[in-house]
Structure 1
Amino acid sequence: MDAGGCPLNGGDGGGGEGRGSGPQHGMITLEDLESFSEDQLSDSGTGRSEEREMMEDEEQNRLLSYWQDVARGHRIDVPRDMAEPIQQLTTNNNGTHQRETVPFTLISRKEKCGEVLYEKRYYDKALWACITITEDTYEQSIGYGFMRIMKYICQHNSLGIYLGMTIPILTVVRTEEAHSSFSRAVTVAYYLPLNHQAQPPQPLDPDIVLEEWPATTVYSRAFTGATNETTLMTQINTLAEILDSPRLYVTSSFIVAGYTNPAAANRVNEIWFIQRQ
């Protein structure tokens, strides 16, 4: 795996010294905002364009302030130009827009005493939008990376349209040589919705790359709760012990798949190991 590119190619990635951890990872942007009800996000229905515009501005400011408050706990600054993308994503997530799940084929499932230890899955080749960020901390890299991907989703693309949210959002973490800490370089990846796979809108951000990831097999283990460096390292070690065969998978980089609100008590995540080619 190239340290500056996207994963799912079965190769090894670069290492580096990891720093920073917190109560939860910096990808705060998917579902924290779902605490806002549709009533809070709806238009007043006055019919006057000036009042609607004023209310939209107030709504944007309120959502932006919420994001900034949450992000501050992760030492992430949310700039003013995120106000419109935040509003778009929030409105669509709380409306009728359905999130599209990355398709896969289940190959096998390992269970013990009714507990699923891991699944072996096949993912077909597909286009992903990726950005690799290196910040002072792991959480900052994820947070800043996703905000830029979010702009791409929310009209900052060659078609100028909202592309639609897909799940999971993947983050690629790389370990240093001793596999005891994470590199600061983190890749955030977004699966292009099916209707954009053939002709993907081009990102306006030059650091976002569209890559066709080859067909890949992964070992996936679900877990709930916090996703900081400590818990991720625990999950990596747990799956490694279950598989008990480092020759099966890439050992220099791993994927975290995020499905639900990082602030939720029982949120769903997965750790993915990439099968060696």
Structure 2
Amino acid sequence: MSTDFQQARRALGARLHELRAGSGMTTRELAGRLGWAPSKISKLENGKQTATDADLDAWAKGVGKPDTAEELKGRLRGLESTYRSWRRQLAGGHRAVQDALGDQHARSSTFQGFTNSVVPGVFQTPDYARSVLARYAELHGVTRDIEDGVRSRMRRQEGLYLPGKLYRVLIWEAALNVLICPPEVLRAQIDRLLSVAGLDTVELGIVPLATPVKIAAGDDFWVLDGRLVIAETWHAEMWLDAPEDVALYGKVWDTLAQSALYGRQAHRLIMRARANIDLL
């Protein structure tokens, strides 16, 4: 869990404590009024548990301040705009997650992306995207509406053909060889990557496995128009817009780009991956 997220959750908890203390109620008294265990009150106030909208509505009414509910939920939305757990996001379905990304892509012109384990979504074929979404859905136990998620991801690729867009994408060479899908699907995906690499909206760099690097590959991320970073971890997706965070990820991208190969050299690496698949 990110430090920024912990700090924001503690700040929300402090506000909850302030409202309860101001009402004159003890932890046990508020818990009894809300029908909760006292431990839940303590966890929320100490930033050990993330509140839901329903929790905040109940809290505001319970302390006799129903008008503070919107303020509290605004704080929660601010918290989750930075740190979005996959479990909470996928509870609303894959399409909702993909549509939110699509909205950000639609309003952006310049993209700096890095992926180290899969071909990025903006270049994926439907079959490859289906395999990727299904594997991660299984990990988080949310397997519904995958097809809707695939369709939304495919719509996001329309930007590749729009004038004024520029996709500057780095892919770790290992991602070209990861069998997260059947070999025939990966083969088609490699062919798709070769075709989009020729678009005038795409600058594709491949970071070879056997090359000196100034920084080790980390989590996948995108920098959108130098204003927003969307970074992925196993348990969450982070949307970061603080200038210092955006600057840091921009520096990471620039550093990785120094080790990437482009043009014909990148093409050779992609074809090498294609040849490896043919041996399977």
- TM-score, normalised to structure 2's length? 0.25
Q: Which has the higher contact order (CA 8 A, sep 6+)?
A: 1
TM-score (norm 1): 0.25
Asked which structure has the greater CA Rg, the reply is 2
